[in-house]
Structure 1
């Protein structure tokens, strides 16, 4: 069961709150419609339930608030708007990436694609999907963790009647297995046709919470639409006959030649028009929407049965027939996993304090909860697998590799012709006029895309516009970016060496004896640039900011360091290796035979302005990232 208690949004400027003290329930095993005209506060109410909007109140999902759920994706499935994702990613790749984020097997993605009817389109890009296909994929994303509760914001908006029938058939099947479904709509007829309970909002306040039969009797009334060139004359005749027969007939004159009659029928109106000689162009039965009812005309808010039907009437006739809950578009729907989603599972260690009214006091009691602070950030549960699928799920990584290898070869071949470029710079395709070699810039771009794409196409947090800043996610991104940078460095050096030997011969480009030391320098440069790009994009939330952070290192930070290092010095680190041997540390660590070889390499690496600038830039960006991303006091 879903229980919304005292939801109140934060007012903006001098305007009243979009949602004001809203309380209602959505029972399990039923479909509940949150009904209201545009601007009534339906979307804001959903965002308040998900801690995406600042405000007061609390929402209990099977008795637990959101911040008490250990696995929110297993309890709540959300569909707010379109599917957030890179347009070049395939439908299958998007679901498999989210499967790693929520910690479910990758086979679950293929299973859901078949359930929602996208099995034949699993290789289609997100940017090419139609609105109906996008909505199917969004529902698959919401069902990925097999949640008990589904929250959907206007899921049928813009869909064809066939697509809407399929959508609500799937929701009906989910509710039939014990799940809770809550969706928003502005169409009262759709609510009466597809929902079991209807919660009506007006200006952010609760007007009524009814079962669908009571809603249909109080909100939807049968009427007769009449078009005639003598509308005023026919309306007067109908009103006089109704008064003479003491019948409750309401005649509403609309614009033009149309009148609407409540409490009568087509045969009676046709006979009245014939007796008075009135020409009739149209005479049709309709289901009329009476608008938002007055609070006093309905039962008190709450999911209680409506008034009894009039004697002699069949209550079943009030409800509009629904599509078969077991079939959607002619195909059977089967639950992919065993068990009932409505089964209540007790969590260990749930000893939360409760107030006098029985509700958890963390988000209730008039306390305002800014977005993102109501619960700890969760996900991805499998960060390394998620990051690998995120990086290689789009052609951006392959395009970046191609954009590095081709210029590197084109730069290395002319440089070798002059014969004045050192072999290390030749294999890295690093002329003196470039601040960094192409491979280092490419590694920085791969790192910047690691966070920049997620901020632009959020995939882990619906409607937040950003991704969770977990330490595990950061470590996974650092590891995958380092691996991609090392692979890019290896491919670049191999491509340049192969091109040079092909053009000038094997004797012209010999392998140097100190190639391990050169490989360490080359790997440190590319990995450092990749990490700078990643942290720069993570701090500034844009890809170009990560690339700019990489370019700033040789153009701004290195000149400043050279100015500082070229100044007068009183002490030096000369003789460090000798003193290390004399102190006994090298022998204790049992690597004295490697000290003489690697310590000069490491000390020389740290003495280079570019390496020192990278180290300082990484330190500064990491501190900024930890402060901005992992601090719970900072609003995202």
Structure 2
């Protein structure tokens, strides 16, 4: 049972709220249509139910609000508009990624592709799918967690009659299995034909809550559609004869040569056209909407049953474990060619910079291996790592990947830690490949003696790893806070260009203190006595931390993390 109670959207300046104190129910085992003209508040009502925009009221899904559900994807399946996915991702890759997010086995993706008729198109890119295929993939995404409730916003918009028949057959099958289905539509005839219950809203307020038979009897009335090249002559003749016979006939001129006649019949209109010598191309009985108010005495419209047997509905079993968000993040990153192309560009740029830098002879060995000339704020590997980190959140906001049941990108600690781990691994791999490629190119061009192994290579490696990982995390948090990839890249570039000068100025001041002797002081405070070799590593670590770039990175990451947590807490408070 879906219960929407007192849904009211946030007030708009000088305008009434788009949804105002809307209350209704959608029972299980039934298909419910939320009917209203464009702009009536249907989409806003769905977004309020899903807690995707601020407002008042509450929606209960089988007695519990959405934010109190442990696994929302198992309770609510959502389709708002088109499939929210990267156009370069395949249909199967998109569903497998969503499977990892919802905690269901990856095999569920192949099962649902067969259910929605996309089994032969599993390797097609999302950008190449037609509207009908895209809508089928959207339904598969909504059904991944085997939810009890389906919420769909105008699912039949733009579809052909054949696709419409398939769509409502699938929704009917879901309801026949005991599920709850709520969809929005602006077509009253479609609502009467496909729904068991029709909830009508106008300007955000409830107008009527009826079963389909009562809706058809009170809201639909018969009409006759006439197509003729002499529409004005026929309309004038029909009006004159209706006035002479004192009959209530309404003639509405539609676009082109089409007339819509209420209060008459095909035989009467045909006889009138014959008497006045008017050529008629089409004459057919139809049904039409009477508007927001009921029309008493209108005849009932039959509601045909769905053709064909209901499709099978596979059951998904949730898979638990801490690796669920890691699997999702790996499939998100590797599902498109952006990460490999970024890595390739970084390697080419590193080699192209390292070879001429070695020829000039003014760059130390660590700078050669990192391909970091003085005129660049960061080496190519660090910039590439920052871009990969920025794409981790930026791509999700540009091409939303997760189900909309809890917003575009849920602020969950597990997901954030998974992004930290995956981007750190990608950054370290990119840094290692860059150093290996630069060393190989230098040895090939200048000989084996051109790249000796430095004696302090452990400290250099630690600093290099910290730089690329810090840049990756700065890009990730920057994109997560500002919800755009460019903001994440800007956060990375701001570290050497803006934050490092400030840190250098602070460290150069008269109040700056030295960390010399820190290992000895720590040894005095500590109860267990560690080996003396650890003193060396403590000194190296302290030296790395107090460097301007490292201090600037730590300062930036701390500020971005606090901003990210603050936005997450504010979002949770609105729930």
Does the aligned pair in 2 maintain the 1:391–1:450 contact within 8 Å?
A: yes
**Structure 2 Cα separation of the partners of residues 233 and 420 of structure 1:** 97
* Counterpart Cα distance in 1 of 2:45 and 2:432: 53
Q: Does 1:427 align with 2:360?
A: no
- Aligned equivalent of 2:429, options 487, 492, 502: 487
- Segment drifting more, 415-424 vs 98-107: 415-424
Q: Deviations over 1:367-406 (max 9, x none)?
A: xxxxxxxxxxxx9992212111112122111121112111
Aligned residue for 1:23, secondary structure, equals: strand
Displacement after TM superposition at 1:325 (Å): 4.8
Instruction: Tell me what 1:252 maps to.
Output: 250
Counterpart CA distance in 2 for 1:162 and 1:380 is 43
CA distance in 2, matches of 1:71, 1:571: 51
Task: Indicate yes or no: 2:72 matched with 1:34.
Answer: no
Contact in 1 for aligned 2:76/2:151 (Cα 8 Å): yes
Change (3 A) 1:180 1:478: same
1:532 is aligned to 474
The answer to whether residue 548 in structure 2 is matched with residue 609 in structure 1 is yes
Greater per-residue helix proportion: 2
The answer as to 2:285 corresponding to 1:286 is: yes
Distance 2:426 2:410 in 1: 22
Aligned residues: 566
* Alignment partners' CA distance in 1, 2:495 and 2:404: 35
After superposition, where does 1:384-463 map in structure 2 within 5 Å? 384-460=326-402, 462=404
Match in the other structure for 2:139? 139
Structure 1 residues 102 and 338, CA gap change in structure 2 (3 angstroms): closer
Match of 1:16 in 2: 16
**Number of the residue aligned with 1:187:** 187
* Secondary structure of the structure 1 residue equivalent to 2:358: helix
CA 1:224–1:112 in structure 2 vs 1: closer, same or farther (change >3 Å)?
same
3-state DSSP of counterpart to 1:483: helix
Question: Under a length normalisation based on structure 2, what TM-score does the superposition of the two structures give?
Answer: 0.90
Q: Is the 8 A contact 2:251 2:262 kept in 1?
A: no
CA apart distance, 1:272: 5.9
Q: Distance in 1 between matches of 2:517 and 2:356?
A: 41
| Conserved? CA contact 1:250–1:261, under 8 Å | no
- 1:159 is paired with a residue whose SS is coil
Change beyond 3 A, Cα 1:424–1:149: same
* Residue 85 to residue 577, structure 1, CA distance change in 2 (3 Å): same
The more displaced of 437-446 and 282-291 is: 282-291
Residue of structure 2 in register with 1:323 after alignment: 306
- Quote how far apart the aligned CAs of 1:15 are: 2.3
1:73 aligns with 2:73: yes
Look up the match of 1:232: 236
Change (3 A) 1:478 1:510: same
**1:222–1:285 contact (8 Å) kept in structure 2:** no
1:148-176 residue CA offsets vs partner (Å, 9 max, x unmatched):
11111111111111211211111111112
Give the CA deviation at 1:199. Answer: 1.9
Q: Identify which of 599, 620, 625 aligns with 2:559.
A: 620
TM (normalized to structure 1)? 0.82
Q: Structure 1, residues 239-263: CA drift from partner, whole Å, max 9, x if none? A: 655x6xxxxx642233398765555
1:631, distance to aligned residue in structure 2 (A): 4.2
* Equivalent in the alignment of 1:517: 459
Residue 203 (structure 2) aligns with: 203
Deviation at 1:437, TM superposition (A): 1.4
| Local SS of the residue matching 2:59 | strand
What SS is found at the alignment partner of 1:254? strand
- The whole-number CA distance in structure 2 between the counterparts of 1:605 and 1:532 is 18
User: What is the deviation of 1:575?
Assistant: 3.3
**Is the Cα–Cα contact under 8 Å of residues 32 and 196 in structure 1 kept in the other structure?**
yes
User: 1:278 offset after TM fit, Å?
Assistant: 5.0
SS in 2 for 1:99: helix
Change (3 A) 1:259 1:96: closer
- CA change 1:150–1:513 in 2 (3 A) is same
State the 1:423 CA deviation. Answer: 1.8
Give unpaired runs (5+ residues) of structure 1: 244-248, 299-306, 328-332, 340-378
Shift of the 549–634 alpha-carbon distance from structure 1 to 2, 3 Å rule, reads: farther
- 1:107 correspondence with 2:47: no
1:240–1:280 distance in 2 versus 1, CA, 3 Å: farther
How many Å apart are 1:34 and its aligned residue?
1.4
Tell me the secondary structure at the aligned position of residue 448 of structure 2: coil
Give distance in 2, aligned partners of 1:116 and 1:42. 26
The alpha-carbon distance between structure 1 residues 261 and 483, as it changes in their structure 2 partners (threshold 3 A), is closer
Contact preservation (8 Å) 1:456, 1:465: no
**Equivalence for 2:411:** 469
Cα deviation, residue 465, structure 1: 7.2
The answer to whether the Cα contact below 8 Å between 1:30 and 1:176 also exists between their aligned partners in 2 is yes
Gap change, CA 1:496 and 1:286, over 3 Å in 2? same
Aligned to 2:510: 568
Q: Calculate the aligned-residue CA RMSD, in Å.
A: 3.0
User: Aligned partners of 1:474 and 1:272: how far apart in 2?
Assistant: 73
Post-superposition Cα deviations, 1:557-590, rounded to whole Å, max 9, x if no partner, equal 2222222323335853333345555x3849x354
Q: What's the counterpart of residue 591 of structure 1?
A: 531
**How many angstroms apart in 1 are the aligned matches of 2:415 and 2:22?**
36
18 and 616 in structure 1: CA distance in 2 versus 1, 3 angstrom threshold: closer
Structure 1 residues 294 and 389 mapped into 2: Cα distance closer, same or farther (>3 Å)?
same
Map 1:301-380 onto structure 2 (within 5 A). 318-326=301-309, 333-337=311-315
Is the 1:238–1:272 Cα contact (8 Å) retained in structure 2? no
1:183 CA displacement: 0.9
The 1-side partners of 2:190 and 2:419 are apart by 45
SS at match of 2:200: strand
* CA displacement at 1:615 relative to structure 2: 1.8
Partner of 1:374: none
